[in-house]
Structure 1
């Protein structure tokens, strides 16, 4: 039976209202997300200083492989990635298990305290870390007072210790963020599984590796990928704590993009090329992580 005139008009009106919401969202996403991506891709094919740009084809991409500063930034970024992300993921897992213990008192306080760093201002906490890890900062004073060191550690002025400081800073900030995901996942695991394991004589360590980690694999994969993306885009901590020093020993890819755009002679075309190198790295590493995790849809 065909709809009558008023019913048909009402249906069309409802459909138009629904599509109007969708169209607005699509236009906004296209304008503020896809359009800048396309423009950046076109910009990466140009070269020149300031607004005096000329088409360069793949010249900028070939330059990446001979640019020593870019290669140094990539090496530093991957050091942060390889060292910090596994430490942070494992620490967040352990903390989530500990804070899920029913017998633990003040669980709410500890959960809040560990989560709070991830909502602090990036610049503010970076500046605080810079002062804490200065030559005469609180960290060195405490270590000297405890007789753990005989002289102050050059946390910021030494190439090795500068990287260590950055790793400590980003681990402090983001461990609580990942812990919340694991904690929510653990709370959705059926308690009877752990009870059966305890009856069979499984220790807490075996339960952690044989039950908790396998059942949290999708969440671990998610946090590993997001942490990888965040580390490849690392900027604020390096810029505010070490300024990439000493001698570019702690510089990152994102800081190099900033320098190309605003510190050196402005080369926006090459900066866009370096930006797209991060996109390629993220895609490759995400696929690798999916494959390692055994995701057949990757």
Structure 2
């Protein structure tokens, strides 16, 4: 009996070894994805999550360096009574209300024109309308500063050539804001037109053919087929353009420096001034989080309204 039982003794270490191998393989299957994600997670934590949390804590402080001290909600209460903040917010809103509909309307018309069967050399047209989007923002601002110069600018020279009076583009509040609108429209219209063009090319031609058989004209086909089919693309461009305009900084900073008389001062420029000109980092952080809240609310409202219409 003893001799018959002896061959079964090695099975204990073999079973233990099998269990260890199984645990090791299971650990590798669990750990390897996290190890592969670790560089991206570490980068996100160091360069994204930490600055976001640190700036949030900074918004509840005042002073700078070793003199930093807790301020509670004082910076946020200060926002409510700060006339310059409300001026910057009003300027940003006025530019947004004019520029975004104008730019997206022109982009949609441009895309529809390029998508027309009568247009040849579509690739060349796409490249041409997209070129302004790859131009540096600082270079764009400098270029338009020369073009819109009151004394020697090309725009006023053209106005004079057709018998119209010169315009003080950068010296009067209204025209300074319109100059910013002009620069933004020139820079981003082609970018949105290419997005719309991709959406238009995804609409089945059979829908247009059926509408033509039913007697629908161009306007009816555009409102009944094109616009509903482009609703997701329209939502994307409206939200993206709204967020970009609310964060407007480069163009007015280079073109007008926020003037004249703070007429083109935007929220992002006001944030920059408080942080890097006056070194009031706590208040600048509060301005940043107020802007973040505004962007989030407007984006959510736009997605809610346009999403409901699309269902």
C-alpha deviation, 1:181, in angstroms: 1.4
C-alpha deviation, 1:209, in angstroms: 1.3
Q: Report whether the alignment pairs 1:137 with 2:137.
A: no
Cα gap change, 1:21 to 1:204, in 2 (>3 Å):
same
Instruction: Decide which of 74, 80, 85 is 1:65's aligned counterpart.
Output: 80
C-alpha deviation, 1:7, in angstroms: 7.3
C-alpha deviation, 1:78, in angstroms: 0.4
Cα gap change, 1:72 to 1:50, in 2 (>3 Å):
farther
Q: Which runs of 5+ in 1 are unaligned?
A: none
Equivalent-residue separation in structure 2 for 1:8 and 1:174 (angstroms)? 56
Which secondary structure state, in structure 1, belongs to the residue aligned with residue 41 of structure 2? helix
Of 134-143 and 105-114, more deviation after overlay is shown by 105-114
C-alpha deviation, 1:28, in angstroms: 1.8
The answer as to whether partners of 1:229 and 1:282 remain within 8 angstroms in 2 is: yes
Q: Which runs of 5+ in 2 are unaligned?
A: 1-14
Task: Look up the match of 1:288.
Answer: 301
- What CA deviation, in whole Å up to 9, does each residue of 1:242-279 have, x standing for no partner? 1110010111011111111222x210000000011110
- What CA deviation, in whole Å up to 9, does each residue of 1:114-158 have, x standing for no partner? 1111111110011000100011200000111121x13x2000000
- What CA deviation, in whole Å up to 9, does each residue of 1:195-226 have, x standing for no partner? 11111111111111111111111111111111
Equivalent-residue separation in structure 1 for 2:99 and 2:262 (angstroms)? 19
C-alpha deviation, 1:19, in angstroms: 2.4
C-alpha deviation, 1:52, in angstroms: 2.2
Q: Report whether the alignment pairs 1:278 with 2:291.
A: yes
Task: Look up the match of 1:100.
Answer: 115
Highest Rg: 1 or 2? 2
Cα gap change, 1:99 to 1:11, in 2 (>3 Å):
farther
Q: Report whether the alignment pairs 1:236 with 2:245.
A: no
Of 173-182 and 234-243, more deviation after overlay is shown by 173-182
Structure 1 ranges of 4+ moved more than 4 A = 4-12
Q: Report whether the alignment pairs 1:190 with 2:204.
A: yes
Q: Report whether the alignment pairs 1:171 with 2:182.
A: no
Cα gap change, 1:88 to 1:49, in 2 (>3 Å):
same
TM-score, structure 2 normalization:
0.89
C-alpha deviation, 1:9, in angstroms: 4.8
User: What's the Cα RMSD here?
Assistant: 1.9
TM-score, structure 1 normalization:
0.93
Of 17-26 and 168-177, more deviation after overlay is shown by 17-26
Structure richer in helix, relative to its length: 2
Q: Report whether the alignment pairs 1:146 with 2:162.
A: yes
Aligned length: 292
